[in-house]
Chains A and B, each alone.
Chain A
Amino acid sequence: MADASAVLRSEWLKIRTVRSTAWTLASAFGITVVFGALLSALTNTGFHNLTKSQQLTFDPVSTSFSGGLLGQLAMIAFGVLVVGSEYTTGMIRTSLAAVPRRGTLYLCKVAVATVAALAVALVTSFVSFFVGQAALGSHSTTLGAPNVLRALIGGGLYMTLIAVFAMGVATMLRSSILAMGILMPFFFLVTEILAAVPGAKTVAHYFPDQAGRAMTRVVQDSGTPYGPWGGLAIMVLWVVAVVVGGYVVLQKRDA
């Protein structure tokens, strides 16, 4: 692994020199903050319409982060394109000829993209919190309140892990289009629907996004069988499995 630092620098340049990086990450930030602010403002004005139990379990942090449901799709796009563009352009053969140690190439690429995603995701999480709390008015909370800081860092981790998950899936499928076509509807619709269906709910709890979102809440759902850290652990397991899957495919398959 003597050449890992050279490969890291190369992958960093790759990520900086394509437009998709800027627009996917900027979208992730913009969508999450804007939709979080809108929903926070709507919640503020309609708070008195909520039922008593809804008011009691009201979570100002997850409300201001509710834009993440859409913003995560941009994070998925980022993760897919970082890997998938190598395949759609045929660049992968050039990249592997330059770095024939496939594991090194893959891990460096994932590492660099993860750092970029983490930086944007953390900023996104905190900014949507502050903007959202401002919009929530009297129903807002503060950074110093119990568990808030944990939930905000959790929000950053959640969006980062979603992006890494997408990188692993794109590597396994070796295609941007295929990966997008599976991940987008899955995370936007399928898990949301299944999580709302009584019978499927027990399974859906263990989907990566449903589990990971426990990290982003201050008030936990009464039905979930795990806490914020348990949720994080489940999501990390998913991500590790998918990243290892991508590694195996890259090692085994002809480029």
Chain B
Amino acid sequence: MIELAGVTKRYGTKVVVSDLTFSVQPGAVTGFLGPNGAGKSTTMRMMLDLDRPTAGQVLIDGKRYADLQNPLRIVGALLDAKAMHGGRSARDNLMCLALSNRIPASRVDEVLEEVGLTAVARHRPKGFSLGMGQRLGIAAALLGDPEILIFDEPVNGLDPEGIHWIRMLMRSRAARGCTVLVSSHLMSEMTLTADNLVVIGQGKLLANTSMSEFIAQNSRTYVRVRTPEPEKLRDALAAAGMTVVTAPDGVFEVVDVPVEQVGDVLAAAQVGLHELSPQHASLEEAFIQMTGNATEYRSGPAAPVPGQPNGAAATPNMQQESLAAGKEA
């Protein structure tokens, strides 16, 4: 388990990560989602004690990373595929790591086999493609057969087969009870892999929830209606037992009802319409809206999470929930 408590990272006056509190649970793949520059990589580096938090702390199974004896046997991380010596053979690179953590040499050949690099084990990674470099980085992460895996954008540079392979790898490790944290800036990638979701934007925690909950709260369908007779519309829909939400610009959103039904009700009530259209908010949109708002919060005054005027109404609730969940953990 990885636990972050009030982790903050400041470079000069620039706050990169702000008061992050969440935990990453074993037995699941946790997606770490945020747009580029949200602070994902910095947070992951702090988990490995490569960057020191300005405030707060990270605990790995209750210990500080620096206090772990043979940390590669507990945490395997892929942060940067190029973090190997290009002039030293793939196998020797792994051997150097193995020796430092008292991992047997046989394990080096095992992981090379697992990531499919056995044929180029004696080659120098200088000549590797991005995908091969990524596989070598993954081999290094798996070397100590760790209980915790941390992958920063692992699908970068991988071909479709490689992407499928890494997804399967993460799923199978999680199924074995491992803690798997994987970062991405793509929601679509997360929906395919993650059980849980931690969303950050501008270094702040925006959501900490299960994937299914996130989908339930964000992938909503609704019917968009525009009318010159708002009162009449409201009455008609209320009489039919439908929920209507007022959006700006004289637009109404009717939630959880098929578009045909809304049309029939409004036709029967003889409400004049300028627009009637079914809408589907994708997870990607929900994510962009959520992180886009984080930008606004940042430039505004210190208020933690103001109510949102429109759109992803679920966000403030989730923020509250995530904070509560963080405190419990």
B219 on interface, CB distance cutoff 8 Å: no
Min CB distance B123 to A, Å, is: 13
Count B interface residues, CB 8 Å.
35
A7 near B83: Cβ-Cβ < 8 Å: no
A94 on interface, CB distance cutoff 8 Å: yes
Q: How far is the CA of A7 from the CA of B97 in the complex (A)?
A: 9
B48 near A17: Cβ-Cβ < 8 Å: no
0/1 interface trace, chain A 10-21, chain B, CB 8 Å (1 if under): 110110011110
Chain A interface size band reads 20 to 34
Residues of A within 8 A of B65 (CB): 100
0/1 interface trace, chain B 64-106, chain A, CB 8 Å (1 if under): 0110111110010101101111111100110111011110000
B83 near A18: Cβ-Cβ < 8 Å: no
Which one of B70, B83, B89, B96 contacts A93 once the chains associate, using CB atoms below 8 Å? B83
0/1 interface trace, chain B 120-132, chain A, CB 8 Å (1 if under): 0000000000000
Residue of B nearest to A12 (CB): B99
Residue of B nearest to A105 (CB): B100
Residues of B within 8 A of A254 (CB): 45, 50-52
B140 on interface, CB distance cutoff 8 Å: yes
B86 near A89: Cβ-Cβ < 8 Å: yes
Q: How far is the CA of A85 from the CA of B86 in the complex (A)?
A: 9
Main secondary structure of the interface of A (DSSP, over half): helix
A91 on interface, CB distance cutoff 8 Å: yes
Q: How far is the CA of A93 from the CA of B93 in the complex (A)?
A: 13
Given contacts A6-B100, A10-B97, contact A97 B85 (CB under 8 A): no
Residue of A nearest to B87 (CB): A18
Q: How far is the CA of A7 from the CA of B99 in the complex (A)?
A: 7
A10 near B48: Cβ-Cβ < 8 Å: no
B100 near A93: Cβ-Cβ < 8 Å: no
B49 on interface, CB distance cutoff 8 Å: yes
A100 near B71: Cβ-Cβ < 8 Å: yes
B100 near A10: Cβ-Cβ < 8 Å: yes
Q: How far is the CA of A86 from the CA of B102 in the complex (A)?
A: 21
B99 near A9: Cβ-Cβ < 8 Å: yes
Q: How far is the CA of A6 from the CA of B73 in the complex (A)?
A: 14
Given contacts A20-B87, A100-B66, contact A90 B80 (CB under 8 A): yes
Residue of B nearest to A94 (CB): B83
Min CB distance B127 to A, Å, is: 14
A99 on interface, CB distance cutoff 8 Å: yes
Given contacts A6-B99, A10-B99, A13-B92, contact A89 B71 (CB under 8 A): no
Residues of B within 8 A of A56 (CB): none
Residue of A nearest to B65 (CB): A100
Residues of A within 8 A of B89 (CB): 17
B82 near A100: Cβ-Cβ < 8 Å: no
A98 near B71: Cβ-Cβ < 8 Å: yes
Given contacts A6-B99, A94-B97, A98-B100, contact A89 B84 (CB under 8 A): yes
A14 near B83: Cβ-Cβ < 8 Å: no
0/1 interface trace, chain A 79-123, chain B, CB 8 Å (1 if under): 000000110011111111111110000000000000000000000
B100 near A90: Cβ-Cβ < 8 Å: no
Min CB distance B90 to A, Å, is: 11
Residues of A within 8 A of B100 (CB): 3, 6-7, 9-10, 95, 98-99
B99 near A255: Cβ-Cβ < 8 Å: no
Min CB distance A252 to B, Å, is: 9
Residue of A nearest to B80 (CB): A90
B87 near A19: Cβ-Cβ < 8 Å: yes
Residues of A within 8 A of B92 (CB): 13, 17
Residue of B nearest to A255 (CB): B50
A2 on interface, CB distance cutoff 8 Å: yes
A98 near B84: Cβ-Cβ < 8 Å: no
Q: How far is the CA of A136 from the CA of B85 in the complex (A)?
A: 45
Enumerate A241-255 residues with CB–CB distance to B below 8 Å: 254-255
Q: How far is the CA of A95 from the CA of B51 in the complex (A)?
A: 14
Residues of B within 8 A of A255 (CB): 45, 50-51
A97 near B72: Cβ-Cβ < 8 Å: yes
Beyond the given pairs A17-B92, A255-B45, 5 more chain A to chain B contacts, judged by CB atoms under 8 angstroms and listed by A's residue number, are A3-B70, A18-B88, A89-B82, A93-B50, A100-B71
The 8 closest A-B pairs by CB, nearest first: A10-B100, A10-B99, A17-B92, A254-B51, A90-B83, A255-B50, A100-B66, A94-B83
List 25 A-B residue pairs with CB atoms under 8 Å apart, sorted by A's residue number.
A3-B100, A6-B102, A9-B99, A10-B99, A10-B100, A13-B95, A17-B89, A17-B95, A17-B96, A18-B85, A19-B87, A85-B87, A89-B82, A91-B83, A91-B93, A92-B83, A93-B83, A96-B50, A97-B71, A97-B72, A97-B77, A98-B101, A100-B66, A100-B68, A255-B45
Which A positions have Cβ atoms within 8 angstroms of B? 2-3, 6-7, 9-11, 13-14, 17-20, 85-86, 89-101, 254-255
